[in-house]
Chains A and B, each alone.
Chain A
Amino acid sequence: MSKSKSFLASLSAFLLTLIASPAFADYALNFPEPVSPLTSQMYDLHMLTTKIATIIMVIVISIVTYAILKFRKSKGAEADQNFHKSAFGTWSWILVPIIVLGIDLTIAGSATDALKQVEDYSQKNDVTVKVIGSQWKWTYEYMDDDIRVVSNMLSKEEAGDNYLRAVDNPLVLPVNKRIRFLHTASDVLHAWWVPQIVYKKDSIPGYINETWTIIEKEGTYRGQCAEICGTGHAFMPIVVEAVSQDKYDAWLSEKKIAMASAAAEASADKTWTMAELMSRGEQVYNTNCVACHQITGEGVPGVFPALKGGQIATGPVADHLSIVMNGSTKNPVMAAWAGALNDLELAALITYERNAWGNNTGDVVQPTDIKSARK
């Protein structure tokens, strides 16, 4: 059997096994089902170009296979030295580019409509969410309702099979409403992407990119950060919970009450005990700080400084406060937390860091201390 023939034979056998293999039966070979008008259009475009691509590949493979089989020296084929001077050799250089151009324009033309819709920001939006990417979590700000949700990855134990695709606080959105996303980032580039409901636009620090969607079906939709953002890039999943308008309204009012009481608690001039601050601090730490400084407080040598026994957490309280609130002057990865956390959270966090992991400095920082440090 000829080599080239066996090449094609094995290639097609490979493709067939791949597609037919039961191992893949559970998992999609294609995009997950789109559930918004725009992602549906994108899906259709994808299927159109896939079909064109398949047809072109079939044609190319057929011609090449025929040529390989027919025009081989071992079969006594003589080379036609003047083939390129034939009529085909002259006219094909005009005809083939025209055909290719025709296919190109067909594809480009069919994409224009979807593209115009992607870029159509003139319609009225029912919900506007500002999506802020940070290393390595997502923050959602509901612009009309003044609600803020911080979304962190769930650990392997909590998430099970959805590990790397599951979060503690999902983004809750109503179905059948036009939703506008404003994408930005607090530190480096990120990209917020949930393939079933919304395509991606980069989150650029200092700039705002827009996307929009109308979710057509209730459900849980998952995605991941799609733009490399450093150490934790693989660990900032996205979950959107699409619910009916009623459930959404209920969730909104519940959230508002919770936020108001948290704010009231934080701003009250109460003096907290160390034990209270420690338990709250641990929560804050595990949500916001573990990605770099680790659960053990030991950090990553040479990259993220250790808090356990380190200069920051055992040195002067004022320096500790300053670096947590304003970020590091030396290492840009250490963000400023003054805006993201309230007085109570900051006080609890710093108290926790100064007393956990055997640091035991005995220092207690109160929300009032933070309030005065903010001035």
Chain B
Amino acid sequence: MSAVIHEDHHHEGPPAGFKRWLYSTNHKDIGTMYLIFALVMLFIGGGMAMIIRAELFMPGVQIVNPDLYNNLLTDHALIMIFGMVMPAAAGMANWMIPMMIGAPDMALPRMNNMSFWLLPAAAILLLSSLLVQFIPGTGVPINTGWTLYPPLSVQTGMGMDLLIFSVHLLGISSIMASINIVTTILNMRAPGMPLMKMPLFVWAWLFTGLLLIIVMPVLAGGVTMLLFDRHFGTSFFDAAGGGDPVLFQHLFWFFGHPEVYVLLLPSIGVLGLVIPTFSRKPLFGYKPLVFFMGFLFALGLVVWAHHQYTIGMSLGATMYFMIGTILISIPVGLMLFNFIFTMWRGSMTFETPMLFAIAIILMFSFAGVTGVMLAVVPADLQYHDTYFVVAHFHYALIPGAVFGLYAGVFYWLPKWTGHMYNEKLGKIFFWWTTLSFNLTFFPQHFSGLAGMPRRIVDYNIQYIEFNQISSIGGFLFGLSHLLFLYIIIKTVKGGEKAADKPWEGAQIGTPGLEWTLPSPPPFHSFTTPPQIK
């Protein structure tokens, strides 16, 4: 064929035209598609958040009617979780894991492509479930929140069916992607890369993949039962027929709680690379971090009912879930401890990824301590379903998951594009998001304590100050993402040429195979396994 791009591979370069993307079997192209998809969804889900915050700026029902409001907050959650964080993390896994472990590609490249393309299909179904309410005769919109609790979700109209099938497609996509990633990690490591030498990001994804393989089918089973209750006369969630609405909550949170770790772990993995890099010293404890990730993985599967303390469990069950939940502070606390003492006695510089990493340590610790507060059952019987909870999980998920992904984007952007991003703009973006994020969500702790329930479209006048601050913060936070988009487009288009290893400390404490490749890496990398020194 035409030009030989890199000496150690025998395939051609990328095929031309749409087939490169639609028919792709290349982990880097698929990773890129995942990341672009996540970025698009970030703006759609973020747009919904802007409408929600605009509605809550003043008491009264001004912009959207109550059903549309509830539907928007349902879809905001689903899009941010399934459409944004998970695809972005999967995109990074696709890009980086084969390069980090010295594999030529993902283990099952065609299935990899199918995992990705299921996402746009699912997104179409998800968005039509929102829009179908504007067609008369399609019943009540999805006004249940992302938890889809019956019997409310049995009342809703056609949108719910579209949503259920969208969740099925998302589930298939996640399970296939996870099987692929786990198989790649376990089977495709280059010689000389034992498990305990893998970069932390790879470890994080191994646990994430295993979690998804175990819990995704449970969600699929739960929504299938919902579908049968809706249309085929079963009585899973109806007491009159001998069922129990609360069972759905158990199924949902058996999936939902591990899902939180699915969102968090990849970011913890990114931190495990970013912090040593910019502290220029190895992780304070590599083995303990792997161990505590495993601990978190195991604990995550058995503490789900702390999302439903108010359903009326026996004293024994409540005690068990409370103590199990409080124990989560051990692995999470030790992870943060590890990161802090990785910086200790290091030689730190503060590029954008590192700034995000430090902000994560502080704000995620905060989410952790409010998490312990929420874990205490008697107190939670007061906090439950208030804005205190909203504030807590946004502190957990935005720093814990989203900021970790931002750190990853800035850390790897030079590798992906071959260009350095503009450091000054990156820092402006960091300060802008971090401050506006805190402005948005910090006051919500107080409105929650003052008694404002979550998921209400209209509130009493006493909550106005907190909500106005939140809304202003929210708009600023939303706006900051235009800068993010600008930085990314600018970096993709051009800029200072990035070195193969743009970060001085990048290979400290890890094999760092990804940094031995050029920036950007060739279309096919490591077609023959590299030698690890």
Contacts and interface: CB of A to CB of B under 8 A. Distances in A.
Interface stretch (B80-88, B208-216, B314-322): B314-322
A191 interface: yes
B133 interface: yes
A45 B135 contact: no
A14 B330 contact: no
Contacts of A164: 59, 458-460
A60 B345 contact: no
Contact of A45 (B245, B280, B376, B439): B376
Contacts of A2: 350
B460 A333 contact: no
Contact of B315 (A74, A93, A116, A227): A116
A81 B330 contact: no
A335 B377 CA distance: 34
Interface in B321-343: 322-323, 326-327, 329-330, 333-334, 336-337, 340-341, 343
Nearest to B284: A84
Nearest to B155: A332
A200 B427 CA distance: 44
Interface string A150-165: 0000000000011111
B373 interface: yes
A223 B349 CA distance: 50
Nearest to A97: B330
B434 A53 contact: no
B446 A29 contact: yes
Contacts, number: 329
Interface in A38-92: 38-39, 41-42, 45-46, 49-50, 52-53, 56-57, 60-61, 63-64, 67-68, 71-74, 77-81, 83-84, 88-89, 92
A176 to B, nearest CB: 22
A18 to B, nearest CB: 7
Contacts of B240: 206
A49 B379 contact: yes
Given A28-B449, A64-B358, A118-B381, A230 B366 contact: no
A123 interface: no
Contacts of B341: 83-84, 88-89, 92
B451 interface: yes
Nearest to A301: B136
A29 B347 contact: no
Assign chain A's interface to a size class.
Answer: 35 or more
B449 A204 contact: no
Most chain A CB inside 10 Å of its own CB: which residue of B135, B140, B455, B465: B140
A68 B355 CA distance: 11
A88 B308 CA distance: 40
Given A100-B333, A111-B377, A223 B140 contact: no
Nearest to B468: A23
Given A73-B348, A164-B459, A204-B311, A31 B382 contact: yes
B345 A3 contact: no
A234 interface: yes
Interface string B364-403: 0110011011001111011111100000000000000000
Contacts of B134: 302
Most chain B CB inside 10 Å of its own CB: which residue of A57, A60, A88, A96: A60
B456 A234 contact: yes
A147 interface: no
Contact of B281 (A38, A81, A163): A81
A115 interface: yes
A111 B326 CA distance: 12
Most chain A CB inside 10 Å of its own CB: which residue of B246, B283, B326: B326
Contacts of A112: 319
A67 B15 CA distance: 49
A266 interface: no
B336 A224 contact: no
B457 interface: yes
Contacts of B449: 28-31
A135 to B, nearest CB: 9
B133 A302 contact: yes
B435 interface: yes
A112 B326 CA distance: 13
Contacts of B348: 67-68, 71-73, 77
B382 A199 contact: yes
Most chain B CB inside 10 Å of its own CB: which residue of A39, A72, A303: A303
B138 interface: yes
Contacts of B284: 83-84, 89
B359 A230 contact: no
A32 interface: yes
A57 B358 CA distance: 14
Contacts of B120: none
B310 A191 contact: yes
Interface of B is mostly: helix
A260 interface: no
Contacts of B322: 108, 111, 115
B320 to A, nearest CB: 11
A11 interface: yes
A115 B451 contact: no
Interface in B58-84: 59, 65-67, 70
B238 interface: yes
A207 B244 contact: yes
A349 to B, nearest CB: 22
A307 B80 CA distance: 39
A80 B377 contact: no
A310 to B, nearest CB: 14
B281 A80 contact: yes
B143 A42 contact: no
Contact of A234 (B312, B347, B378, B459): B459
B385 A191 contact: yes
Interface stretch (B145-153, B173-181, B489-497): B145-153
Contacts of A195: 382, 451
Contacts of A32: 450-451
A138 interface: no
A228 B280 contact: no
A27 B465 contact: yes
Contact of B70 (A18, A71, A228): A228
Given A14-B439, A100-B334, A188 B318 contact: no
Contacts of B333: 96, 100
Contact of A3 (B239, B336, B350, B455): B350
B95 interface: no
A115 B152 contact: no
A13 B327 CA distance: 33
Most chain B CB inside 10 Å of its own CB: which residue of A27, A92, A111: A111
Interface in A15-33: 15, 18, 23-24, 27-32
A229 interface: yes
A92 B151 CA distance: 50
Interface string A183-219: 0000111010101000111101111011000000000
Given A233-B70, A333-B140, A333-B155, A115 B281 contact: no
Given A100-B334, A195-B382, A202-B311, A93 B285 contact: yes
A140 interface: no
A231 interface: yes
Contact of B381 (A24, A42, A188, A332): A42
Contacts of A296: none
Contacts of A108: 322-323, 326, 376
A301 B378 CA distance: 43
Most chain B CB inside 10 Å of its own CB: which residue of A79, A222, A232: A79
B378 A199 contact: yes
Given A68-B343, A303-B140, 9 more contacts: A28-B450, A29-B449, A46-B373, A60-B340, A67-B340, A119-B318, A189-B152, A209-B312, A302-B134
Which 8 A-B residue pairs are closest in the complex by CB-CB distance? Answer: A206-B239, A199-B381, A53-B369, A234-B456, A114-B378, A79-B281, A80-B345, A209-B312
12 contacts: A4-B355, A84-B282, A84-B285, A92-B337, A97-B334, A111-B377, A115-B319, A191-B310, A223-B451, A227-B310, A233-B455, A302-B138
